[in-house]
Amino acid sequence: MSTAPPLADVVAEFATEIEATGLTFPGGVAGALLALDGRISPQTAARLRKEAGVRQFGDPWRQVCNADTPALLGILRSESPEVAAIVLSSSTSPAPPTCSAACPARAARRIAYAVSQTGAATPGAVDRIGLALATQLHDRPKTAFENGPEQRVGAILNHAQATTREDVLAGLDETDQDFARLVRKAIFTFADIPRRLRATDIPAVIGDLSRPDLTTALAAARAAGGELDTAAGFILDNLSRRMRDALDEEIEERGHVGMKEGEVAMSAMVAAIRARRDRGEIRLLRPDAEEDG
């Protein structure tokens, strides 16, 4: 009864036959693994690199250059000004200028001075720094959530009642003001419509709502006053005169609408806006007036 040869023997025999054909990979094992990127698991690739004793990156600066700005900025904040100076001097991607602009003034001055001291940097030193940074970028663990914590909290508070939302935000202010500020930027409510929605998108959004929901939302907003009344005015002002006059009459006939009923209708309008945004039909503005993709 014959037994199958051990896996190691099979692999060794296969490698011998490949070598006999004269087949080679540019860059050796590192180049071969780079060519297999995406076709074998990262865990398998890492194990093969370790067993073969090859470095993980053929050109580490390519990964640094292609890194997204938040990831690179996070690493630079933990490094010395001298390392940051090497990065900003060596990289040609759009990320370094953005990173330098995001640095506090004091840190930017230290980095600028450190750049003046990079004249004696050797290619080997620059290569080692690039390899260390590329390793940090590559070794970032995958997270379970696609969105940041402020976006997840904001999505929850979008559907909360106004009093609950303000209570949560007040508590966040006491615990972490910076995080509370980010959460406020992530929130989009009826009151945010004048700041976040383009006037030209109002007619399209209105068409997605039932007439009762639209009338209820506007009537409740007018009764509440303040920012909600301002949002209602913004919506009405960007409709045709005929529709605006008709809605004014319906709102007056409806009379007083309480916030409990009104918030349901306002949430329906916000949901309609978000649905159009998610389909790519409209673009919201960020609180700082930049477009939100």
Q: Report all structural domains of the chain as residue ranges with CATH numbers, in order of start.
A: 60-138 (1.10.220), 147-187 (1.20.5), 189-292 (1.10.220.30)
Overall pTM > 0.85: no
Question: Alpha carbon 166 to chain centroid distance?
Answer: 25
- Looking at every residue in the chain, the average pLDDT score rounds to 78
pLDDT single digits (tens) 186-201 = 888 999 999 999 999 9
Pull the structure tokens for residue 265.
């209708």
Nearest to 139 by CA among 52, 51, 49: 49
The CA-CA-CA angle for residues 49, 53, 56, to 5°, reads 45
* Percentage above 70 pLDDT, the chain: 69
pLDDT (mean) for 166-172? 90
